[in-house]
Amino acid sequence: MASLVGSRVERKEDKRFLTGKGRYTADINLANQTYAIFVRSPHARASIKKINIDKALKSSGVVSILTGKEIADDKIGGLIAGWAIRSEDGTEMKCPGNPPLAKDNVNFVGDPIAVVIAESLAEAKEAAEKVEVDYKVLKAVTSTADAMNGDTIHEGIDKNLCFDWLLGDRQKVKEAFDKADKVISIDIINNRLIPNAMEPRACVADYNAASEEITLYTTSQNPHLSRLIMSAFGNVAPEHKLRVVAPDVGGGFGSKINVYNEDIVCSWAAKKINRAIKWVAERSESFLTDIHGRDHVTHAELAVTKDGKFLGFKNETIANLGAYARVFGTVTPTYLFGPCATGVYEIPAAYTNVKAVYTNTAPVDAYRGAGRPEATYTIERLVEKASMELGIDKTELRIKNFPTAFPFKQTLVHTVDSGDYVAGMEKAKQMADYKGFEARRKESEAKGKLRGIGVTSYFEACGIAPSAAVMSLGCGVGLWESAEVRFNPTGQVTVYTGSHSHGQSHQTTFAQIAADELGVPIENIDIVHGDTDKGTFGMGTYGSRSLAVGGIAIVNACKKIVEKGKRVTAKMLEANPEDVEFKDGEFIVSKSNKKKTIGEVAFACYLPGVRDEMKSPLPEGDEPGLKETSFYDPSNFSFPAGTHIAEVEIDPETGHVKLEKYTACDDFGRIINPMVVEGQVHGGLAQGIGQALYENAEYDETGQLMTGSYMDYTMPRADNFPEFNIGYTCTHATTNPLGVKGCGEAGAIAAPPTVMNAVIDALGGQEVTMPATAEKVWKACKNLKKSNAKAA
């Protein structure tokens, strides 16, 4: 049987999605359901003096109106930060309370205050407009850079500082800098982004008074984790009385990791009113209240010798957490950022210092890449600047500082098991026709255009992550993953995975893996996920962990099935279990060549007997049935890496940047389905290029979101991109049996510095901040013209 792993198997989920048969949360309607609308703060910072719901209660169709007071009275807990981070001075991070409905203070525009539940959506909306809230408006803090000088947002949190964290050794770095021939320094801003999943968040909560069970259908990347948080911290219901279902989910990008206010409020309220409640975000609510991403202000320095060896690295960053610290809010700018900030280079001394600040803006949390795009942007912008200042070719300078042997002990935390960065660079250069660039630059110049080329070599730490490691660093949970492989008596297989697919194609790729492991046709394998009632537990999907952690759990569970199958076959064919081999779905006794198919074995496990004989196919110690479970805890992160090269052409008269060519050469380890990987790379690149050239979440000084719709927030479109030139090198991960690394975030990690390096190259080294909009680039072009004229 030909192996399915490695081939372009068509997506099993496409038929359903392309024929409109997907079932998303908003598609779910329950009998006798009500509709919820949230009353939200129009102010970025205010204290609530009074809420008057009298008029609203009289509005037609209103079932109930609940506020922060009721939720506090019922002792429903708030939203939490999932990672505890310690400051350099040893003190614990400072987190404010974050009640699901604000009672005394609101801290960003969109912070929910009350929920209005009515018989219809229109009636809920109408009534919500009649809720009167008396605010005392306070001065908002919105700027990342100045947050520490602003008014104190949360009582007792001085300078709005959550923590002041250090990774690395300042003294060693100082010594390295003292020895340097040259110090390259850079000030950069990693612009704030809004994830913009195609499907807005939604939830439908139901209460069954007979079983005293709450069921929550919600747009989540990790239903079990949501249940755990809502139960343990939210006090909504004990875990066994709370079922969380995340059906088809239309994109997450990290924005659907968090348990949100609406999940808790609707679950709690459904029980209170003893009716189902449905809430679906409008797009403007998504803009305001989904977690945002990035938002760093960084000063970084690189100490180098004159022939281009890197000696030391400093990174001083202020990271905006927004109004509250949420699930991955505090780890994203620390352990997901600092370790990767030294990039793919051997740098003997390095440190990263991060001051995480609160502001009156939407909470900032993990968004595709989470910390690693910010890290890669820091080091790769710095290295590109070093190449300009040292006059060393940008690819040569990088190669000079690549590690030469693996495992590579990276400066700050990670031991990278495998890779070949030189091979990746050489292949990328060839794919991009790096050599031919100067000729293309001249052609552009002849047309009055400016052309630039930019390079990024990156690695990232994903496949998160060994539980003991992350819990030692402050994570509140272990990051293993589970799988259950269940045979039916008639031979089909159901695989429950704790990972969650919201665009990652698990239904296909996980089935490919199970088909190869079990020798069962892929049509006979169903991948099931997203329902806490269907599997034991799952940690969910983020940090490119589905395959490298969740996929391995499936492999391990399949291997247990095969082991049992060998024992059963041996018993049935009267052989030694050691003499039974398994191949392509058949158990073969090597000595006699007698065989049983895996279907026959499954059948025998469920129907363990024969007519007229008292005989069981099950060996002593084995129970009937064929189902195995694995809880897989990885031994290390996985480390995809690669080199990307971009070329841009700029029209100096309009400042328009045209991305002419984009080459991505990645090492994702073994590839399960090249078509799916291409899709992931394309999507990641679109978001990464979006960050570099188009996207920006902007608040004004009063904390109003200026980019609250697609009229002002530039989502990139297909015509913004060239045909992507995608290739791979492949070194297998040595830390998992599939040799896989993860591909979900690479594009978003590598693209921003790649594109910006190209833009800045075209602009003769002038800095521009992301996104490189027409006006910024136009201004830089004018400066360039002036300075060229002076030079001439």
Partner 1 sequence: MKDFNYHSAKDSKEASKLASSSSAFLAGGMTTIPSMKLGLATYKDLIDIKNIKKLSGIKVSGKSVTIGAATKHVEVSNSKDVKKAIPSLSSLAEGIGDPQVRNRGTIGGSIANNDPSADYPSACIALNATIHTNERKIEATKFFKGMFETALKKGELIEAIEFQIPEKSSYQKHPNPASRYAIVGVYVAKHKGDVNVAVTGAKSCVYNDKEMSKALSGNFSSSSIDGMDLDSSEMNSDMHASAEFRASLVVTQAKKAVDAC
**C-beta of 132 vs 700, nearer to partner 1:** 700
Q: Which neighbouring-strand residues pair with 189?
A: 297
**C-beta of 360 vs 696, nearer to partner 1:** 696
**C-beta of 572 vs 781, nearer to partner 1:** 781
Residues 6+ apart with CB under 8 A from 753: 376, 377, 380, 381, 384, 454, 456
User: How many residues are given for the chain?
Assistant: 792
Kindly state whether residue 284 participates in binding partner 1, applying the rule CB under 8 A: yes
Q: Which stretch binds partner 1 (CB under 8 A): 44-52, 474-482, 512-520, 708-716?
A: 708-716
Q: Which helix (H) or strand (E) holds 245?
A: strand 242-245
Q: Which stretch binds partner 1 (CB under 8 A): 188-196, 455-463, 465-473, 711-719?
A: 711-719
- Interface with partner 1 (CB under 8 A), residue total 21
Q: Is the separation of the CB atoms in 564 and 580 below 8 Å?
A: no
Q: Which stretch binds partner 1 (CB under 8 A): 417-425, 514-522, 589-597, 771-779?
A: 771-779
Q: How far is the CB of 3 from partner 1 (least distance, A)?
A: 42
594 vs 761: CA distance, rounded Å: 68
Q: How far is the CB of 690 from partner 1 (least distance, A)?
A: 10
Q: How far is the CB of 713 from partner 1 (least distance, A)?
A: 6
Give 559-607 as a DSSP string: HHHHHHHHHHHHHHTT--GGGEEEETTEEEETTT--EEEHHHHHHHHHS
Contact residue for partner 1 among 238, 430, 583, 710 (CB under 8 A): 710
Q: How far is the CB of 212 from partner 1 (least distance, A)?
A: 38
638 to 657: interface string for partner 1, x by CB under 8 A:
---------------xxxx-
Kindly state whether residue 774 participates in binding partner 1, applying the rule CB under 8 A: yes
Q: How far is the CB of 285 from partner 1 (least distance, A)?
A: 12
555 vs 546: CA distance, rounded Å: 13
Half-sphere exposure of 120 (CA within 13 A, CB side): 6
Evaluated on CA atoms 123, 129, 133, 138, the torsion sign reads positive
**C-beta of 91 vs 783, nearer to partner 1:** 783
169 vs 349: CA distance, rounded Å: 7
Contact residue for partner 1 among 120, 590, 706, 788 (CB under 8 A): 706
Kindly state whether residue 778 participates in binding partner 1, applying the rule CB under 8 A: yes
Q: Is the separation of the CB atoms in 176 and 348 below 8 Å?
A: yes
721 to 760: interface string for partner 1, x by CB under 8 A:
----------------------------------------
Half-sphere exposure of 770 (CA within 13 A, CB side): 35
Take residue 693 and report the two structure tokens written for it.
């050239």
Interface residues for partner 1 in 464-503 (CB under 8 A)? none
**C-beta of 724 vs 778, nearer to partner 1:** 778
394 vs 383: CA distance, rounded Å: 8
Kindly state whether residue 701 participates in binding partner 1, applying the rule CB under 8 A: no
Classify each residue of 698-723 as buried b or exposed e, where b means 16 or more C-beta atoms within 10 Å of its C-beta: ebeeebbbebbeeeebbebeeebbee
- In this structure, the strands spanning 310-322 and 349-358 are parallel
CA distances for 476 relative to 93, 174, 426, 431, 605, angstroms? 14, 34, 42, 44, 40
Contact residue for partner 1 among 707, 725, 766, 769 (CB under 8 A): 707
Q: How far is the CB of 143 from partner 1 (least distance, A)?
A: 16
Q: Which stretch binds partner 1 (CB under 8 A): 146-154, 431-439, 496-504, 706-714?
A: 706-714
**C-beta of 702 vs 773, nearer to partner 1:** 773
Q: Which stretch binds partner 1 (CB under 8 A): 240-248, 492-500, 604-612, 710-718?
A: 710-718
Contact residue for partner 1 among 1, 145, 468, 715 (CB under 8 A): 715
Query: 10 Å Cβ neighbour count for 18?
Result: 10
387 vs 549: CA distance, rounded Å: 38
**C-beta of 720 vs 725, nearer to partner 1:** 720
Q: Which stretch binds partner 1 (CB under 8 A): 98-106, 394-402, 496-504, 769-777?
A: 769-777
Q: How far is the CB of 704 from partner 1 (least distance, A)?
A: 12
**C-beta of 438 vs 653, nearer to partner 1:** 653
244 vs 263: CA distance, rounded Å: 10
198 vs 281: CA distance, rounded Å: 12
Q: How far is the CB of 323 from partner 1 (least distance, A)?
A: 22
Q: Which neighbouring-strand residues pair with 306?
A: none
Contact residue for partner 1 among 181, 307, 533, 712 (CB under 8 A): 712
Kindly state whether residue 189 participates in binding partner 1, applying the rule CB under 8 A: no
111 to 150: interface string for partner 1, x by CB under 8 A:
-----------x----------------------------
Kindly state whether residue 698 participates in binding partner 1, applying the rule CB under 8 A: yes
Query: 10 Å Cβ neighbour count for 144?
Result: 24
Q: How far is the CB of 480 from partner 1 (least distance, A)?
A: 42
129 vs 120: CA distance, rounded Å: 15
Evaluated on CA atoms 56, 35, 237, 256, the torsion sign reads negative
Q: How far is the CB of 288 from partner 1 (least distance, A)?
A: 13
Q: Which neighbouring-strand residues pair with 115?
A: 38, 66
End-to-end CA distance of the chain: 70
Q: How far is the CB of 711 from partner 1 (least distance, A)?
A: 4
**C-beta of 519 vs 771, nearer to partner 1:** 771
Q: How far is the CB of 763 from partner 1 (least distance, A)?
A: 16
Q: How far is the CB of 546 from partner 1 (least distance, A)?
A: 32
DSSP state of 251: -
Contact residue for partner 1 among 694, 746, 749, 763 (CB under 8 A): 694
- Residue among 281, 271, 274 nearest 218 (CA): 281
Kindly state whether residue 72 participates in binding partner 1, applying the rule CB under 8 A: no
**C-beta of 295 vs 695, nearer to partner 1:** 695
Q: Which residues bind partner 1 (CB under 8 A)?
A: 122, 284, 653-656, 694, 698, 706-707, 710-715, 717, 773-775, 778
